[in-house]
Structure 1
Amino acid sequence: MSRSPRVAVVGAGPAGIYAADLLAKSDADVSIDLFERLPAPYGLIRYGVAPDHPRIKGIVTALQRVLERPDIRLFGNVEYGVDLKLDDLREMYDAVIFSTGAEKDRDLDIPGIDQRGSFGAADFVSWYDGHPDVPRTWPLTASSVAVLGVGNVAVDVARILAKTADELLTTDIPDNVHQGLASSPVTDVHVFGRRGPAQAKFTPLELRELDHSPNVEVVVHPEGIEFCAASMALIRSNKQVEMVVKTLQEWAVRDTRDRPRRLHLHFLQAPVEVLGDGEVTGLRTETMELTGDGGVRGTGEFTDWPVQAVYRAVGYLGTHLADLPFDHASGTVPHQAGRVLDLDEQAIPGVYVTGWIKRGPVGLIGHTKGDALETVTSLLADAPLLATASTPDPDAVVRFLEQRKVEYTTFDGWRRLDRHEVALGADAGRDRVKVVDRHTMVAVSRG
């Protein structure tokens, strides 16, 4: 390829921005355009991290420095498969990287899971993070709630449900979310894990944050604090697991404090049925026992918990992308070292994946850097052999979007929206108030 390669990255969350950063810092003198379905960048950081996680949201500072580079452009409010398709991108770019993440809830196949009052955690996260494409209200009518799963998303959901709304006024929580949480009658949130405490997937930081609220008593039910040989080996070999287990053991034996709300942690309790006749009235769990190898088996002992809402936090799932192969079971695009594979398991030239749409929703945000490095390494190795774009002019995509009457946003537009949200926060005595309405986001961004 005689000229500098042009690369399109579909998805401007951490995965896409990390890939753009690695490409920009390579010796290839590449130019990169990021396409994002939402009017604002940052994906999971803006719309998947709980608002009371300011330390994690600090990653935005590093991501913003990447977007400030002159060889990287952002086109927001552009939806792949609607506003443009793969053939369009391949006419204008030499290579395309898909980094669209995983936004849907994984299903949980137990009786009663589809009743009113049963929700997916991803939907709830989108609501409390002010995602522009979800309803503005949420049915917070339950006094007792069950959360299924013991990963970071599960404890985020449980913490947001258990906290009082005013505790979140130090964050960028949208006004409609604050109003909704303020009306919640919740007193008890129960988190259920089917395996033991050594197998819990949340981090020590996420766990300890549960105990920071002066209004919430964290109750660890001691009957689930059990360990087998495999559990003990895991504790000895993994410092994070050791820290999690130590914290849970301390909480299980401490004196109870008198607080208006309680967050219960139950281990070795597997959900087997959501009770109710069209509307949730309870959850049935089966007590499990450790098998010695890190697994569990049922004991035949069941407990009915009187809850009025159930949130399943059993994993995210990617969405099928137009014109690309897709593994529906794993919710990922088949690939080899980031190179997208067709139905015959042959690499599709110039088409790549990175992030959760590549490897599935596992690992922390930091793990996405290594994932992006593998994909970018493959792309750069392939670059001399890639078919060249027929219209590589950088202005071609601008003309394309304007002809389609797509109201795209830019990085400068994001800066305008950023300043606008900060100004809204200043008026309310807060650092920021997030704008939720898509039309408003686009209007502010486009000036």
Structure 2
Amino acid sequence: MRHIAVIGSGPAGYYTAEACQKTFGDAVRVDIVDRLPVPYGLIRTGVAPDHQSIKGVSRRYEAVALTENVRFVGNVSVGKDVSIEELRELYDAVVLATGAPLDRPLEIPGADLPGVVGSAAFVGWYNGHPDFAGLGPALHGPGAVVIGNGNVALDVARILSKTEAEFDGSDIVAHALTLLRASKIDTVTLLGRRGPHQIAMTPKELGELGHLTRAQPLVDASDFPPPEDDGLLEPGQRKSVTHLRDFAGREEDPAKSVRIIFDFFAMPVRIEGSGRAERVIVERTALDAAGNATGTGETYAIPASLVVSCIGYRTPPIEGIPYDDRAGRFANDEGRVLPGLYAVGWARRGPTGTIGTNRPDGFAIAEKIAADIGEGSGKAGRPALDSLLESRGVDVVTFRDWQKIEAAETAAAREGAPREKFTSIEEMLGARGT
């Protein structure tokens, strides 16, 4: 029998568990350990609430979780309730699937002013993550600046710009919907250091901005290279640039009350304000021969009560585990970190790829585990972890408990919504009795 512990219950964790099932059959026991009482990681707290079709992949993870040889061990904090070293003593393999939940720091003056938040915090706020439910972002307006040119920046801009009716069918949490309903923001500026050809936005997400009820995307046509240069782009990138060219060709609609401005060749250099964010000072950039953005010395100010930094994520380091500071992930050799210790997903490769990218990643790690541990070493595994956690008074949440929490969230949903998420751990734990 092989005993495997997976730390983190997001896509990387569940795909790894599924891969271990297929690799070892009945001769494996996989425990998926998570700090929160609820599973699915970024499917629950990272995917935008108005992208419900993406969240449907959780049904695949549920099918894995309900098998006999995979178990969810929720409400267990690794490092506090149990250490990595203890897990390595109990299991043949320990897999770090912790994702990259920390914001890459915005290292400019004024980044610590009230009103400046990272995308992990802002996305966690509107998705009901317990760590960020009390964020209360500054929506008194009239301006918001979103720093970044990727899909997360698009999500933030879209959420800030939608009408309440456009959230029908989503699982945006009530506290976020209430604040957004009263928002005074009428201009959302997306800052990108480089130009339209260098964006990291995918066509589907970018195209959504062109169909919003009260908001219109605005792009300066002079920011584009000649149209024939679009042929040099990859197909997906070319489709995204086509959307941007379409936005640039539209007349500004005075009936639309919210503007989403794409400000290309724009680098934030500092954030100013009296005790809180009031404006972002931006330097105009130009591309050098290598395609890098360099400052031109020309600066200007953009009014902003809210600044959301969407410049990337980092995996939180764990004491004693080799860590790559530059890449913001665990140091590893194709997933191997230390003997018996592995990393998968964003914890292995950094915050790149889609949800589906984690599936082949999980199978690759399962193959390495199989090569390394053979038939297993007779370690105690699941029963020993249970005894250890019980001795420490840890209130473990099982997958059956999670199903009770999920049923309570579904029952509490507003009309048309799939659920109303609990936003505190205490609420989640209390819902097990309903």
TM-score category of the 2 structures, normalised to the smaller one: over 0.9
Q: Matches of residues 48-447 of structure 1 in structure 2 within 5 Å?
A: 48-139=46-137, 140-226=139-225, 232=229, 235-257=231-253, 258-340=255-337, 348-384=338-374, 387-389=377-379, 391-392=380-381, 394-425=382-413, 428-445=415-432
State the Cα distance separating 1:249 from its structure 2 match: 0.5
Residue 362 of structure 1: SS of its match in structure 2?
coil
Q: Which residue type is aligned with residue 412 of structure 1?
A: R
Q: TM-score, normalised by structure 2?
A: 0.94
Q: Which residue type is aligned with residue 60 of structure 2?
A: A
Change (3 A) 1:309 1:415: same
Residue 278 of structure 2: SS of its match in structure 1?
strand
State the Cα distance separating 1:150 from its structure 2 match: 0.5
- How far apart, CA to CA, are the structure 2 residues paired with 1:374 and 1:82? 30
2:124–2:133 CA contact under 8 A, matched in 1: no
State the Cα distance separating 1:293 from its structure 2 match: 3.9
Question: Structure 1, residues 120-179: CA drift from partner, whole Å, max 9, x if none?
Answer: 111111111100122435132221010000111111111111223342242112211111
Residue 97 of structure 1: SS of its match in structure 2?
strand
2:121–2:135 CA contact under 8 A, matched in 1: no
2:133–2:423 CA contact under 8 A, matched in 1: no
Question: Structure 1, residues 216-246: CA drift from partner, whole Å, max 9, x if none?
Answer: 11112223223699xx37x535110110011
Residue 279 of structure 2: SS of its match in structure 1?
strand
State the Cα distance separating 1:214 from its structure 2 match: 0.7
State the Cα distance separating 1:434 from its structure 2 match: 1.4
Q: Which residue type is aligned with residue 208 of structure 2?
A: E
- How far apart, CA to CA, are the structure 2 residues paired with 1:226 and 1:108? 29
- How far apart, CA to CA, are the structure 1 residues paired with 2:63 and 2:201? 29
State the Cα distance separating 1:65 from its structure 2 match: 1.7
- How far apart, CA to CA, are the structure 1 residues paired with 2:249 and 2:272? 31
- How far apart, CA to CA, are the structure 2 residues paired with 1:416 and 1:191? 41
Other-structure match for 2:31: 33
Question: Structure 1, residues 271-325: CA drift from partner, whole Å, max 9, x if none?
Answer: 1221224322211222222335433333222222122221111001110123312
Q: Which residue type is aligned with residue 13 of structure 1?
A: G
2:37–2:397 CA contact under 8 A, matched in 1: yes
Other-structure match for 2:6: 9
| Bigger mean CA offset, 72-81 vs 157-166 | 157-166
Change (3 A) 1:180 1:372: same
- How far apart, CA to CA, are the structure 1 residues paired with 2:295 and 2:106? 18
Change (3 A) 1:446 1:101: farther
- How far apart, CA to CA, are the structure 2 residues paired with 1:446 and 1:21? 29
Residue 370 of structure 1: SS of its match in structure 2?
helix
Root mean square deviation of aligned Cα: 2.0
| Bigger mean CA offset, 165-174 vs 354-363 | 165-174
- How far apart, CA to CA, are the structure 2 residues paired with 1:97 and 1:228? 47
| Bigger mean CA offset, 329-338 vs 299-308 | 299-308
Residue 361 of structure 1: SS of its match in structure 2?
coil
Change (3 A) 1:57 1:135: closer
1:6–1:30 CA contact under 8 A, matched in 2: yes
- How far apart, CA to CA, are the structure 2 residues paired with 1:446 and 1:75? 18
1:284–1:303 CA contact under 8 A, matched in 2: yes
1:350–1:386 CA contact under 8 A, matched in 2: no
Residue 133 of structure 1: SS of its match in structure 2?
coil
State the Cα distance separating 1:25 from its structure 2 match: 0.7
1:11–1:98 CA contact under 8 A, matched in 2: yes
Q: Which residue type is aligned with residue 57 of structure 1?
A: K
Number of residue-to-residue matches in the alignment:
431
State the Cα distance separating 1:446 from its structure 2 match: 5.6
Q: Which residue type is aligned with residue 405 of structure 1?
A: G
Instruction: Give the fraction of aligned pairs with identical amino acids, expressed as a percent.
Output: 36
1:228–1:290 CA contact under 8 A, matched in 2: no
- How far apart, CA to CA, are the structure 2 residues paired with 1:429 and 1:371? 36
- How far apart, CA to CA, are the structure 2 residues paired with 1:227 and 1:135? 45
Residue 66 of structure 1: SS of its match in structure 2?
helix
1:220–1:264 CA contact under 8 A, matched in 2: yes
- Residue 16 (structure 2) aligned to one of 15, 19, 23: 19
Change (3 A) 1:120 1:221: same
Q: TM-score, normalised by structure 1?
A: 0.91
Other-structure match for 1:343: none
Question: Structure 1, residues 30-66: CA drift from partner, whole Å, max 9, x if none?
Answer: 1111001111100011011110111211211222222
- How far apart, CA to CA, are the structure 2 residues paired with 1:101 and 1:133? 16
